[in-house]
A and B are shown apart, each in its own frame.
Chain A
Amino acid sequence: MAGIVIDRIAKSFGAVSALKEVSLEIADGEFVALLGPSGCGKTTLLRIMAGLETRSSGRVLIGGRDVSDLKPYERGLAMVFQNYAVFPHMTVYDNVGFGLTMQKKPKDVIDRQVKKAAALLHIEPYLERYPAKLSGGQRQRVAVARALAVEPAVLLMDEPLSNLDALLRLEMRAELKSVLREAGTTTVYVTHDQTEAMGLADRIAVMHGGKIVQIAPPTEVYSRPASMFVGGFVGSPPMNFIPVEARAGSVALGGQTLAAPRASGALTLGFRGEDVTLAPPGEAMPFTVRVAEPMGSHLLLTGRIGDAVVRVVAPPASIVKAGETVGLRLDPDRIVFMDAATGAATDLAA
């Protein structure tokens, strides 16, 4: 068991800077997801932690030990790869026991650990098989079991579910969470799928352009995004943003007066699609519906407020038709204000 400290890690490929002095502290036993679009540097950061990629500057500490210049095998960690990377010429048993065999553990210890990891991931029936005879989901279980069998201080996962189909992914996600909770392993999980990050992580580090733009628990990342980018990237549908003008410390919106973080000037107001209530058009912010999609659990409305495209989640029984104009009333506790110029959140309390 060990915490991780990432101290001003930077990485550039030639003239391209992939990571710009990223710092991050992960507590012992914590599950942190690195979330971001492709090319944001999340996989590079993970590979630098694992020692599979060189860094340009900075340090990585695992359990207080500076591992920056150590080879991967000296770092005492385990990893689950995107394409599973299960060794095709070994049986499932040998795959799961590979790390322990390399550590020259006695045979009975290996046997016990392999059986335990296999039981945890329900792959006992396949222990004598070769990976070629397994499905993608089963191979992924083998890869996770191989990582857990060594009882690593730190577990790194690089988009481990992205090669599975949607239903299997949902199943594996829940299972992964319960298995890892039980093992209590410090875990860093790279993903571009925000539902995976939301569902699994204790904290989410949202990355963009080689930087961590926000690190916070999932609910906070969701409801209090640090920037327009985070709000737009996390959540489905993404956060809505409309331009507003502050006057005398407040913003007036079709019948509603909201306290603004600034006395005056241009701001961007952000709100989640489910944080509104429908009201008669005259009494609240007018919202012109262009498309109404009944999703079963809710009604998804897409339309415009002024020039801004807005998506709103309404109760499934609401009767709203395309072309109609309805009023939207915002929940004042669940809105965020962003600086119109920089896109960064401005604190209401300040």
Chain B
Amino acid sequence: MTGPRRFLFVTGVITLCAWILVPIYLIALGSFGGRPAVFKWPKDWLPWNASLDAMLLFLRIEGVWNAAINSVIAAGLTMIFSILLGAPAGYALARFDFRGANAFRLLVLLTRAFPLAILALPLTVIFIKLGLYDTPFGVSLVHTALALPFAALVTASLFVGIPRELEEAAWVFGCTRWQAFTKVVLPLALPGVAAAAIFAFVISWNEVFAASVLTVRERTLTAYLLTVLSESPLHYRFAGGFILIVPSVLFIFAVRKYLFAMWGVSSK
């Protein structure tokens, strides 16, 4: 790269990193520095008096672990449901010409047009009747409804990008439709499917409203923290926020290989 282009590139990278990392860093400072770090101004940019006190205290708050487990269950189920339902829908959109394909494409997005606030009351009633109220499974059903449009549309674009000829070649060389899908299409789509799955996980992990309305005792972490932390000192809130951020970041970091890897181009 030449001088000016390299400069632009580097500043771009730095800006983007700062955009994401500075707030996360500030939250970390707040959660590890205790009360003084939260209120001190100007800030110490290095954690001089870092301690795990706030964090440990936070983790000892009653119900945090239970809520965290609920969150993981709800997000995990959301991830599984939205891929199991979304990927076949995406495949159908990508490979078959059927009447109403475009209408479906639009309608699937319309599920996001209904505000959850309107749906919340009827959903609560139905969930109570069905015995789904106050369960992570019930929460994951609502979260799946939220994540499904993206799962279907993202996987559809993935499958469109895989040449039909590859599948046909698999058929000719002895594969059934299902085998061709598992042996050829799926491995090629895997990085994208993983990305769609993580996206579904993160949607569920971050969702507060439905989770708050549909649970009482078996809260997810976000819903639980919302109620508990509104009464807590500021540095506990920072600790809670930090704990909410970390899993998403770690999860995406763990599967970055699938997100970045293109075939024949391994990530460094």
Residues of A within 8 A of B (CB): 50-52, 71-73, 77-79, 81-83, 85, 87-89, 98-99, 102-103, 130-133, 146, 150
Q: Are A103 and B174 in contact (CB under 8 A)?
A: yes
Q: Are A52 and B171 in contact (CB under 8 A)?
A: yes
Starting from the known contacts A52-B171, A81-B165, 5 additional A-B residue pairs (CB-CB under 8 Å) come to A52-B168, A85-B165, A85-B168, A88-B263, A102-B179
Instruction: Tell whether B42 is near chain A: CB-to-CB under 8 Å.
Output: no
User: Which residue on chain A has the smallest CB distance to residue B262?
Assistant: A132
Q: Are A88 and B171 in contact (CB under 8 A)?
A: no
Instruction: Tell whether B176 is near chain A: CB-to-CB under 8 Å.
Output: yes
Q: Are B176 and A81 in contact (CB under 8 A)?
A: no
Interchain pairs with CB closer than 8 A, number: 67
- Provide a sorted-by-A list of 24 A–B residue pairs whose CB atoms are within 8 angstroms: A51-B171, A52-B171, A72-B172, A73-B171, A73-B173, A77-B172, A78-B173, A79-B168, A81-B169, A82-B165, A87-B166, A87-B170, A87-B184, A88-B264, A89-B184, A89-B187, A102-B174, A102-B175, A102-B179, A103-B174, A130-B263, A131-B264, A132-B264, A150-B174
A contact residues around B265 at 8 Å (CB)? 132
Q: Are B168 and A73 in contact (CB under 8 A)?
A: no
Q: Are B171 and A71 in contact (CB under 8 A)?
A: yes
Residues of B within 8 A of A (CB): 163, 165-166, 168-176, 179, 184, 187-188, 263-265
In the assembled complex, the CB of B68 is this many whole angstroms from the nearest CB of chain A, namely 36
Neighbour of A73 across the interface among B163, B172, B187, CB < 8 A: B172
Most buried by A among B166, B174, B187, B264: B174
Most buried by A among B170, B171, B173, B175: B173
Docked pose: A255 CA to B184 CA in angstroms: 69
In the assembled complex, the CB of B183 is this many whole angstroms from the nearest CB of chain A, namely 8
Q: Are A85 and B174 in contact (CB under 8 A)?
A: no
In the assembled complex, the CB of A162 is this many whole angstroms from the nearest CB of chain B, namely 13
User: Which residue on chain A has the smallest CB distance to residue B264?
Assistant: A132
Q: Are B188 and A89 in contact (CB under 8 A)?
A: yes
B contact residues around A102 at 8 Å (CB)? 173-175, 179
In the assembled complex, the CB of A186 is this many whole angstroms from the nearest CB of chain B, namely 15
